[in-house]
Amino acid sequence: MSCVATFSLFPLERPDQGSFAPYVARTIEIVRASGLPYELGAMGTVLEGDFDEIMQTIKHCHDDMRKGCGRVYLNLTVDSREGDPGRMRDKVDSVGELLK
Amino acid sequence: MSCVATFSLFPLERPDQGSFAPYVARTIEIVRASGLPYELGAMGTVLEGDFDEIMQTIKHCHDDMRKGCGRVYLNLTVDSREGDPGRMRDKVDSVGELLK
Amino acid sequence: MSCVATFSLFPLERPDQGSFAPYVARTIEIVRASGLPYELGAMGTVLEGDFDEIMQTIKHCHDDMRKGCGRVYLNLTVDSREGDPGRMRDKVDSVGELLK
Amino acid sequence: MSCVATFSLFPLERPDQGSFAPYVARTIEIVRASGLPYELGAMGTVLEGDFDEIMQTIKHCHDDMRKGCGRVYLNLTVDSREGDPGRMRDKVDSVGELLK
């Protein structure tokens, strides 16, 4: 199975009022530790793996953020199908090919 | 912990071309079997529970739909905080109170 | 054309720290003024209309909230097709029929 | 005003059964014609502009896809605040700085 997902996770209630960047950076550390291929974007992080690996990684990110914040918001989209790894890159390249 | 979530799950590749209703009905059967409070809406199903209960229920729905469909799309949003059960109703009622 | 949409709109930077309910209530007032059929839920508001009517209503809600808040977050999903009005109800009823 | 948005738009009913890539490529052509800075990703396209520019561009993409497809699905998220252009890049760089 090959799932490509994108998620954004941020605090709605937190002890500080500054940038969200430290919260996103902490999430990326957890995603990196998962070993799943990922790509950080301006509105979310794309990652690839099987469904359980992705949901497990997102659970770690959620649980970690909830330790320090009273309320968090998760927005997750998953495109799940059979397929070889590398879809994250292939989906973009196949569009790029058509735009040449 | 009290999470309120909304999700929509539908096939992008499927053996038929008809309405999505049978796929949504099958998902609701799985949500019902989870015992979590839920509400079916026109654009998704709202459910309440702790984070792991919700993610486990969504995994069951995903795995079930993937058995019959080559590709499925999941769109999930979670509002996660401390709190007593019943937030699903309270969130709507608190807005209703202000609109009286 | 018949679009059924669901959206949630909330401040990420605001002058207060209380409940989001007043912000949601204000949004519902604007949705009501649009005359579009709607349904308030725990994780978003469903509304029905043609694409331009929906986007115009959401623009009003966004512009209104941005007057008082430094940063707002919009999460919108639209299911757009030909069809008679009333899809908001029909989509739920057609699933209910299958679950009888 | 500076909005950073991400959207995915795809057909649920279409005359063909192949890859979604041609539909995404067509959407990117419209985004390019808008002149807004954008970035194509595996799960959506990020773009930056003021709220009205973004919503207008998405309307063009929607209307164009609906000409050829009986039903389309839009998933849009907008992060709207005051700010100089270039937030699309800055949001990612500010996280990258913390991960060095």
Structural domains of chain B ordered from first start: 2-98 (3.30.70.930)
Torsional class of A16: left (φ above 0), alpha (ψ -120 to 50), beta (otherwise): beta
Q: Which candidate from D40, D46, D99 shows the least CB-CB separation from A28?
A: D99
Start-end of H helices in chain D: 21-34, 51-68, 87-98
Inter-chain residue contact B95 with C44, CB threshold 8 Å: no
CA distances to A72, B23, C92 from A63, rounded to whole Å, are: 10, 31, 33
D82 has pLDDT over 90: no
C85 has pLDDT over 90: no
Q: How far is A26 from chain D (nearest CA, A)?
A: 8
Quick one: pLDDT at residue D83? 83
Q: Which residues pair with A8 in a beta bridge?
A: A75
| φ, ψ of residue D36 in degrees (nearest 5) | -75, 140
For A58-81, write each residue's pLDDT tens digit.
999 999 999 999 999 999 999 999
Bridge pairing between strands D45-49 and C71-81: unpaired
User: d(Cα C47, Cα C61) in Å, to the nearest integer?
Assistant: 13
Quick one: pLDDT at residue C95? 94
Instruction: Flag whether residue B62 sits within 8 Å of chain A, measured between CB atoms.
Output: yes
Neighbour tally for A7: CB within 10 Å: 22
Task: Over range C1-16, report the average pLDDT.
Answer: 94
Is-contact A72 A62, C-beta < 8 A? yes
**A46 CB-near residues (< 8 Å, 6+ apart):** A4, A5, A6, A38, A39, A88, D41, D42, D43
Chain A's closest residue to D88, CA to CA, is: A42
Q: How far is D63 from chain A (nearest CA, A)?
A: 20
CA distances to A3, D2, D20, D29 from A91, rounded to whole Å, are: 12, 28, 9, 16
Q: Taking the CA of residue D93 as centre, how many other CA atoms within 13 Å lie in the half-sphere pointing to its CB?
A: 5
Quick one: pLDDT at residue A84? 83
Chain D's closest residue to C61, CA to CA, is: D51
Inter-chain residue contact A79 with B62, CB threshold 8 Å: no
User: d(Cα D55, Cα C59) in Å, to the nearest integer?
Assistant: 8
Quick one: pLDDT at residue B85? 85
Q: How far is B80 from chain A (nearest CA, A)?
A: 5
**B43 CB-near residues (< 8 Å, 6+ apart):** B8, C4, C5, C6, C44, C46, C77, C79, C91
Task: Over range A43-49, report the average pLDDT.
Answer: 97
**B90 CB-near residues (< 8 Å, 6+ apart):** none
Question: What is the average pLDDT score of chain D?
Answer: 95
Q: Which candidate from C8, C19, C88 shows the least CB-CB separation from B42?
A: C88
A1 has pLDDT over 80: no
Task: Over range B66-90, report the average pLDDT.
Answer: 94
User: d(Cα D96, Cα A40) in Å, to the nearest integer?
Assistant: 9
3-state secondary structure of B10: strand
Quick one: pLDDT at residue A2? 85
For C20-44, write each residue's pLDDT tens digit.
999 999 999 999 999 999 999 999 9
ipTM of the complex: 0.96
B34 has pLDDT over 90: yes
User: d(Cα D45, Cα C45) in Å, to the nearest integer?
Assistant: 24
